[in-house]
Chain A
Amino acid sequence: MTDSRKPEPDAPIAERVRALEEALDAKGLVPEGFLEKRAEQAQESFDPKNGARVVARAWLDPAFRARLLADGAAASAELGFRAANSEYLVVLENTDAVHNVIVCTQCSCTAWSVIGLPPDWYKSPAYRARVVREPRALLRGMGLDLPEQVAIRVWDTSGETRFMVLPQRPAGTEGWSEERLAGIVTREALIGVARVAGTTS
């Protein structure tokens, strides 16, 4: 598709990936088990459940909340969620007046250590184009109907700062444990395309 050098179709993507892996392996460039280990790490360490725990702690502990808003990376590291490349993490607090939502219009960056690798919808050209152009309509279409008086702040991850939304704690969760609270915080809420619902209906 990228040139007209040869008339035959592209090799299937799975074959292309295998071909590169084998070519590197044939040159002795792939350390034993490296690719498996790295893929496993991506699936186990980069998990939105980490961000959910950070949020739950912030809801319960005002001092932690203050530290989180001052230095997101350091506060997350207190819970063991360390960014790979000394990431600069800015946590965005949702209030009754302002709703924050995150995008990366140029690629699809997220704060891996707390949000995980980006989901497909976040990587779609539709999301990346529409959320900066018509956020209120887009969010409504995704099931988040924000009242007109709530301002929307869209954060484009165009540089090296990574962002995470601190959603509002829903009513009806008084007295809940940190674990129970963490259980209702979704990846979509950490990105800002959903609110946290008080019941798991």
Chain B
Amino acid sequence: MSGFGAVEIERNEPVFHERWEARAFALNNLGIRILEAYNVHEYRHAVERMDPSHYLAASYYERWFTGVATLLVEKGVVTRDELEARAGGRFPLARPAAEVKPIRVTPGAQPRFAAGDRVRVRDVHPAGHTRAPRYVRGRRGVVLRASRAFELPDLAGHALAAHLEQTYHVEFEARELWTDAAESRETVVVDLWESYLEPVG
């Protein structure tokens, strides 16, 4: 997105500005670690599923909390009706997740790419969760390093069995990402799973 203005740093900013922010923060930990109702990938996706106008208008911890509340309702831990009754008004939640089919992948024993390899991010637009940012899809970059293997969020974000998959730090020239007058001597490094990438010949 573009059209944003200046970024202001708040001096001596407290960790939480309001008491409810601290509670919202802790409630997510409760949902993941104590109730084991969902995982962190599902949490991130629940925030992404918020109505775009609500997402942009909400503060960080309101988004955080909306993700937590959405998942606890979806998982049947609490109901929206009981939350609205207790809150005394409407209780906005995120939109339902798209249906994502499980995939069986047998990851290679060795990383497919090595430092210096030229790669392109697959230009795909999945309906569900993914961690390939839109601004690098279809763009070419160079592998800086093969990082570690992590669960594929595209599956874990939908509570599907997720395999460990190699990730890479891939560097993109600003001119490759922003075809107009990109500023010079700038690059963006993005952390990407192996299945997001294809080799450039």
Spell out A's residues near B (CB within 8 Å). 1-3, 5-6, 8-24, 27, 29-31, 34-36, 38-39, 42-43, 46, 88, 90, 105-108, 116-121, 123-127, 129-130, 132-138, 141-142, 148-161, 188, 193
Contacts and interface: CB of A to CB of B under 8 A. Distances in A.
A154 B183 CA distance: 13
* Pairs A-B, 6 closest by C-beta atoms: A159-B191, A11-B89, A126-B4, A19-B86, A11-B87, A19-B87
Contacts of A152: 185-187
B187 A153 contact: yes
Secondary structure of the B contact surface, majority rule? mixed
A120 B15 contact: no
Interface string B52-90: 011011011010010011001000011000111011111
A79 B4 CA distance: 39
B22 interface: yes
Contact of A11 (B91, B95, B133): B91
Secondary structure of the A contact surface, majority rule? mixed
B63 to A, nearest CB: 9
Contacts of B22: 39, 42-43
B90 A6 contact: yes
B98 interface: no
Given A24-B78, A39-B26, A152-B186, 14 more contacts: A13-B20, A14-B19, A18-B20, A24-B27, A24-B30, A29-B34, A34-B30, A43-B22, A88-B148, A126-B4, A129-B4, A153-B171, A154-B187, A158-B190
A160 B22 CA distance: 24
A36 B174 CA distance: 44
11 contacts: A1-B92, A12-B89, A17-B24, A27-B78, A39-B26, A43-B16, A126-B4, A129-B1, A129-B2, A136-B186, A158-B191
B94 to A, nearest CB: 7
A160 B83 contact: no
Nearest to B189: A155
B79 to A, nearest CB: 8
Contacts of A126: 4-7
Given A11-B88, A29-B77, A158-B133, A153 B189 contact: yes
A42 B15 contact: yes
Contacts of A19: 83-84, 86-87, 91
A8 B69 contact: no
B69 A16 contact: yes
B178 A20 contact: no
